[in-house]
């Protein structure tokens, strides 16, 4: 067993654990269930958390250079170890996007905008959940419902930022920073995609126009050559006839 093989084998199980975590976490946050009523959701959250822990330590054990892998994945350890960073476990769903990209291949390039907007929608939803979780019970917070959280997430990822809602907790501000960066990335990808599409269309139209002009010029040259060949043929025919006539007259004169 190698690290790469483990990652390939654990891709879908980890996606499943992330989806279970997302569903249970969504119910906990949006419904704001009392402790007794939300036991089942807690069980699912802790079960998925246990899967994440197993995956972390297996990868650490299989890493060729454990020290380097540990340093590069300190954020994973922090997310697993610190309860305050629990909302950031939703970043596990990014694995799903990576799997989709690797499976889709060239087809993904033709649906880039759909892929980007799908990723942006997931980030908005997860960001709204995360910020509502840490903000809804804070006395100084102005994000009290999931509707407020969704509106704030849309404002943030689109870099609008009206200022009517904003996080006041540390984790909430971390989520806001991630959304801001994601918003810039999404706008950049969309702009680049539209620019590439325009350049491609303009290039195709230009190539088509050049080819049409070249075909017209070739046809004109062919017609000119054909006309010249026909004229030369007629002239050769006349000269041949005249030459034959002269030869006939010469033979007739010698005979007389």
Within 8 A by CB and 6+ apart from 51, the residues are 13, 14, 17
pLDDT digits (tens, 9 = 90+) for 222-246: 677 777 778 888 887 887 877 777 7
**What integer pLDDT is reported at residue 18 of this predicted model?**
79
* Sign of the alpha-carbon torsion through 184, 186, 191, 192: positive
Statement: the pTM of the whole predicted model exceeds 0.75: no
pLDDT digits (tens, 9 = 90+) for 2-42: 888 888 888 778 778 878 888 888 888 888 777 677 788 88
Whether residue 126 contacts residue 22, with contact meaning beta carbons closer than 8 Å, is answered with yes
Per DSSP, the three-state class of 164 is coil
Q: How far is C-alpha 175 from the chain's CA centre?
A: 22
Q: Rounded to an integer, what distance in angstroms lies between the CA atom of residue 198 and that of residue 30?
A: 42
Q: Report, as ranges of residue numbers, the positions in the chain whose pLDDT lies below 70.
A: 35, 82-115, 190, 193-194, 197, 201, 222, 248-256
Q: Rounded to an integer, what distance in angstroms lies between the CA atom of residue 84 and that of residue 78?
A: 10
């Amino acid at each position: 067993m190698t690290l790469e093989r483990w990652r390939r084998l654990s891709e879908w199980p980890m996606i499943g654990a992330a989806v279970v975590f997302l569903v249970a976490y969504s119910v906990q946050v949006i419904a704001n269930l009392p402790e007794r009523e939300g036991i089942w959701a807690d069980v699912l959250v802790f079960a998925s958390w246990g899967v994440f822990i197993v995956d972390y330590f297996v990868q650490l054990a299989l890493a060729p250079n454990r020290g380097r892998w540990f340093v590069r994945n300190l954020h994973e350890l922090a997310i697993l170890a610190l309860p305050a960073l629990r909302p950031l476990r939703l970043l596990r769903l990014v694995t799903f996007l990576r799997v989709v990209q690797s499976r889709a291949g060239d087809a993904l390039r033709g649906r880039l905008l759909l892929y980007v907007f799908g990723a942006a929608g997931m980030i908005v939803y997860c960001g709204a959940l995360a910020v509502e979780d840490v903000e809804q019970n804070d006395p100084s917070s102005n994000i009290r419902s999931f509707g407020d959280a969704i509106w704030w997430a849309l404002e943030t990822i689109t870099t609008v930022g009206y200022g009517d809602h904003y996080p006041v907790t540390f984790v909430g501000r971390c989520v806001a920073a991630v959304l801001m960066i994601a918003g810039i990335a999404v706008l950049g990808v969309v702009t680049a995609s539209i620019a590439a599409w325009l350049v491609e269309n303009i290039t195709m139209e230009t190539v088509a126009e050049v080819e049409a002009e070249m075909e017209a010029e070739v046809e004109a040259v062919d017609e000119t050559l054909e006309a010249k060949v026909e004229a030369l043929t007629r002239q050769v025919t006349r000269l041949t006839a005249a030459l034959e006539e002269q030869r006939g007259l010469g033979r007739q004169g010698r005979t007389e």
